[in-house]
């Protein structure tokens, strides 16, 4: 199969690299010359564990290449994947489809032979039908089908997720498109994996419903954590006890500072808007969006309390700013709410993150970057754990407490415990949904 992949972001690049590893011939297109130049030099523009090795292996095998020129990529392709961004549209919460529609028109103008136009981007219900209409209008002679193929990979574990998916969802309208999609994913059939073949609208809905459900689960446990703090229960025990129930499952029950990232915030907002537009509001998701903002605000109150009521004049060391470990992605990370609140409240803020600096430096003005948690904590009044990178999970807490001006720990990922902090010499400790001190 010959595949063109439009967009070399977290989804497009990983999908393109993995498809080439299946043995397909893949050309990845991006309109950003900086990204294409890097990729042509063998460098990966994003941080995703293992991607550089797999990418270069397939480039060397002659199956994978990169270009700015859509025309050459589409020439002879059996399928063109659209994997461009669908951010929240300013002002109204809708998914911004500008990039998707622009890509569809470019394909229409360029394609010459039968091709399946596959939307991998997360798009509202009805978008694939619009893509079909846009292409048919722009190039009435083109023989084509559309397919919806939403992506479920997680940043930080993207290659494994792509190669061993829980399921592949494919929305199609014709037998011909079904066949092309089956040929593309056939290498995965060697392992027994479930594929859901359905209509376009159901495929589009599956992606939003799945993400909104996960965001709801996280938000549910975050609210239970807040109640645990009031009644003296321990969220770790509560999550464990709930998660052992097979009907509930133990994933996404880890309380924290609120969900963030490139998908949950924008996809919950988009689903809420779709519901409103169809006079079928998804009230539970609307509430989740609101509660998640409350969760982040509660984190700021927690940290204010740990600083004795004000950040003014305090030095705060923040460990981790990416929205989760093993990615450099800062989109909608809780740090984007919490760090500005610290800086705005008059604190001197030092941040450390193994991969966050490239993006974070301009997103967190007023913060100073350090390379090491020990240097960040020296003479500080508060240490905050905001992202649970492995690098922050086995710190020498006694050394840190001994070097701080006020040995106070705000553990917003429940990495440590009150007992460990006390033994290490911290005079105050607070986490999520558990008893702290003093
Ligand atoms: P991204 O912003 O990292 O990458 C998008 C890329 O598309 C950019 O490099 C941009 O330059 C390029 N682009 C935009 N318009 C183009 C055009 N006309 N021609 C060529 N290139 C173009 O986005 P992402 O995180 O990869 O997300 C892509 C889509 O996948 C979104 O809809 C997202 O919701 C969805 N998704 C993302 C994830 C994730 O973990 N990031 C997971 C599942 C689904």
pLDDT (0 to 100) of residue 192:
76
Terminal-residue alpha carbon distance, the chain: 63
Which atom, in ligand 1's list, is nearest to the CA of 263?
34
pLDDT (0 to 100) of residue 161:
96
Residue-range domain boundaries for the chain: 2-198, 234-438
H/E element, 118: strand 115-119
The answer to whether residues 288 and 327 touch, using CB atoms and an 8 Å cutoff, is no
> 32 CA to middle of ligand 1, Å?
12
ipTM entry? 0.99
Six token digits for residue 115: 């091709």
Binding residues: 30, 35, 86, 122, 152-155, 207, 252-256, 260, 266, 324, 331
| DSSP 8-state code for residue 282 | -
pLDDT (0 to 100) of residue 126:
96
Binding residues for substrate: 152-155, 207, 252-256, 260, 324
* Domain 2-198 and domain 234-438 have a common topology: yes
Q: What share of the chain is helix, strand, coil (3-state, %, to 5)?
A: 45, 15, 40
> 419 CA to middle of ligand 1, Å?
44
**Residue 24 buriedness (CB in 10 A; 0-12 / 13-18 / 19+):** buried
pLDDT (0 to 100) of residue 91:
80
pLDDT (0 to 100) of residue 242:
98
Least Cα distance to 187 among 4, 11, 23, 14 occurs for 23
Which superfamily is assigned to 2-198 in CATH?
NAD(P)-binding Rossmann-like Domain (3.40.50.720)
Q: Which residues pair with 5 in a beta bridge?
A: 28, 81
Residues labelled as active-site residues: 263
pLDDT (0 to 100) of residue 169:
98
Question: What string of DSSP letters covers 69-105?
Answer: -HHHHHTT-SEEEE----PBPTTT--B--HHHHHHHH
> 206 CA to middle of ligand 1, Å?
19
Kindly report the backbone phi and psi dihedral angles of residue 319, in degrees, each rounded to the nearest multiple of 5, phi listed first: -100, 110
Q: What is the CATH number of domain 234-438?
A: 3.40.50.720
pLDDT (0 to 100) of residue 302:
98
At 370 the three-state DSSP class reads: coil
Q: How many angstroms separate the CA atoms of 428 and 406, rounded? A: 9
pLDDT (0 to 100) of residue 106:
96
Which residue has a Cα nearest atom 21 of ligand 1? 30
| Residues of the chain predicted below pLDDT 70 | none
Q: How many angstroms separate the CA atoms of 416 and 393, rounded? A: 8
Which residue has a Cα nearest atom 18 of ligand 1? 103
Which residue has a Cα nearest atom 38 of ligand 1? 11
At 164 the three-state DSSP class reads: coil
pLDDT (0 to 100) of residue 208:
98
Q: How many angstroms separate the CA atoms of 190 and 177, rounded? A: 21
């Amino acid at each position: 199969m010959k595949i063109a992949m439009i967009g070399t972001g977290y989804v497009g690049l990983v999908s393109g690299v993995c498809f080439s590893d299946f043995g397909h011939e893949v050309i990845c297109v991006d309109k950003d010359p900086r990204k294409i130049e890097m990729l042509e030099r063998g460098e990966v523009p994003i941080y995703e564990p293992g991607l550089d090795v797999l990418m270069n292996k397939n480039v060397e095998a002659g199956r994978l290449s990169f270009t700015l020129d859509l025309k050459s990529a589409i020439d002879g392709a059996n399928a063109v994947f659209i994997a461009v961004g669908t951010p929240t549209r300013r002002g109204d919460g809708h998914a911004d489809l500008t990039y998707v529609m622009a890509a569809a028109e470019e394909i229409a103008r360029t394609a010459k032979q039968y091709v399946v136009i596959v939307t991998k981007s997360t798009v509202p219900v009805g978008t694939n039908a619009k893509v079909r209409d846009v292409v048919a209008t722009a190039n009435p002679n083109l023989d084509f089908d559309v397919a919806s193929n939403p992506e479920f990979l997680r940043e930080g574990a993207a290659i494994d997720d792509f190669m061993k998916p829980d399921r592949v969802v494919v929305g199609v309208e014709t037998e011909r498109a079904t066949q092309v999609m089956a040929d593309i994913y056939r290498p995965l059939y060697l392992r027994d994996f479930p594929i859901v073949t359905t209509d376009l609208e159901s495929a589009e809905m599956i992606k939003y419903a799945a993400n909104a459900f996960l965001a709801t689960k996280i938000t549910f446990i975050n609210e239970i954590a807040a109640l645990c703090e009031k009644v003296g229960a321990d969220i770790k025990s509560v999550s464990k006890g709930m998660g052992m129930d097979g009907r509930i499952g133990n994933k996404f029950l880890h309380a924290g500072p609120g969900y963030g990232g490139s998908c949950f915030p924008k996809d919950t907002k988009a689903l809420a808007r779709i519901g409103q537009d169809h006079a079928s509001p998804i009230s539970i998701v609307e509430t989740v969006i609101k509660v998640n903002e409350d969760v982040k605000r509660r984190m700021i109150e927690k940290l204010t309390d740990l600083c004795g009521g004000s950040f003014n004049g305090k030095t705060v060391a923040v460990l981790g700013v990416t929205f989760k470990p093993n990615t450099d992605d800062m989109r909608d990370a809780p740090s984007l709410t919490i760090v500005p609140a610290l800086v705005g409240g008059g604190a001197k803020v030092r941040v450390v993150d193994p991969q966050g600096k490239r993006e974070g430096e301009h997103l967190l003005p007023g913060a100073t970057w350090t390379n090491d948690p020990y240097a960040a904590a020296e003479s500080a009044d508060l240490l905050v754990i905001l992202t649970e990178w492995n690098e922050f999970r086995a710190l020498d807490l006694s050394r840190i407490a001994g070097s701080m001006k006020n040995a106070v720990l705000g553990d917003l990922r429940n990495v440590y415990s009150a007992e460990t902090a006390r033994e290490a010499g911290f005079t105050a400790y607070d986490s999520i949904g558990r008893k702290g001190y003093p």
